[in-house]
């Protein structure tokens, strides 16, 4: 019997559908620049928007180091199932792009479109050296310097194994919805070629990749946010 998931913190803006759902990256939360900027835009447009924190992150309950990728996928599905009605557009940033894909595969009848921002599916595979993988398996915990904050980034055996069990980039990805992928070509964390490869693997014919030549991993500058808004708008009815 599995234990219940932690209670999740979220902010829902009522409006016309489909509901735009923002999925944060690894060790991130719903108060980032992209989530808040998109929420502000959605409010101004009268559109429904949902942002939330995964279990163990931000304002949600739970311990971060007890979570796995599969747990956070289930949190996203719980939000889709219980917090909103009707079709959704998923926006996934970095690891959130991986969760976006897993959620869309699990709820193809609910997901109208997906938008990836430096989407990082399978990063437990390509984002760690062989030595780091062995270290995680042996010691259960890996600590890395965090370029975006003072606290180190922690990866656990539970998270890593959950990621390895949910890899997608090994063959065709059976999604037929509209897909938009944005990626900065100066991204030091997720190679932009990952988005190009993802576009190739997706079954949908309605797939577009936007590369930002001077863009970094976060794509949080004003010009990036303006571009993101236009990309999101392009998949809305």
What is the overall mean pLDDT for the chain? 96
pLDDT band at 37 (very low <50, low <70, confident <90, very high): very high
Domain ranges of the chain: 16-123+174-234
> Which CATH code of 2.90.10.10, 3.40.190.10, 3.40.50.1820, 3.30.390.50 fits the domain covering 16-123+174-234?
3.40.50.1820
Q: Is 144 exposed, middle or buried (0-12, 13-18, 19+ CB in 10 A)?
A: exposed
Is 53 known to be catalytic? no
Q: Which of 60, 122, 178, 217 is catalytic?
A: 217
How much is the pTM?
Answer: 0.96
pLDDT band at 150 (very low <50, low <70, confident <90, very high): confident
Rounded to an integer, the average pLDDT of 160-188 is: 97
Phi, psi of 165 (to 5 degrees): -80, -10
pLDDT band at 1 (very low <50, low <70, confident <90, very high): very low
Q: Which of 53, 75, 187, 224 is catalytic?
A: 187
Is 205 known to be catalytic? no
Starting at the earlier edge strand, list the strands of the sheet with 16-23. 10-13, 47-52, 16-23, 88-93, 111-117, 178-184, 207-212
Is 220 known to be catalytic? no
User: Which pLDDT belongs to residue 148?
Assistant: 79
Tens-digit pLDDT profile for residues 190-218: 999 999 999 999 999 999 999 999 999 99
Measured CA to CA, the distance from residue 111 to residue 18 in angstroms comes to 9
Q: Which of 28, 68, 93, 94 is catalytic?
A: 94
């Amino acid at each position: 019997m599995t234990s219940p998931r932690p209670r999740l913190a979220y902010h829902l803006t009522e409006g016309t559908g489909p509901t735009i759902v923002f999925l944060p990256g690894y060790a991130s939360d719903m108060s980032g620049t992209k989530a808040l900027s998109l929420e502000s835009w959605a409010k101004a447009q009268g559109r429904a928007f949902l942002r939330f924190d995964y279990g163990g992150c931000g304002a949600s309950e739970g311990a971060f180091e007890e979570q796995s990728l599969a747990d956070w996928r289930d949190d996203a599905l719980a939000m889709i199932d219980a917090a909103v009605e009707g079709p959704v557009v998923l926006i996934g940033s970095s690891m959130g792009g991986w969760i976006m894909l897993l959620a869309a595969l699990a709820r193809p009848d609910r997901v109208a479109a997906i938008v990836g921002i430096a989407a990082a599916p399978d990063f437990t595979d390509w984002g760690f050296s062989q030595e780091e993988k062995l270290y995680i398996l042996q010691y259960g915990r890996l600590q890395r310097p965090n370029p975006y904050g003072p606290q180190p980034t922690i990866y656990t055996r539970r998270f890593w194994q959950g990621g390895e069990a949910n890899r997608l980039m090994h063959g065709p990805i059976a999604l037929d919805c509209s897909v938009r992928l944005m990626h900065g070509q100066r991204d030091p964390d997720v190679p932009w070629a990952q988005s190009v490869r993802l576009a190739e693997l997706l079954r949908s014919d309605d797939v577009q990749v936007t590369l930002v030549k001077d863009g970094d991993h976060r794509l949080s500058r004003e010009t990036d946010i303006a571009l993101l808004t236009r990309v999101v708008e392009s998949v809305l009815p």
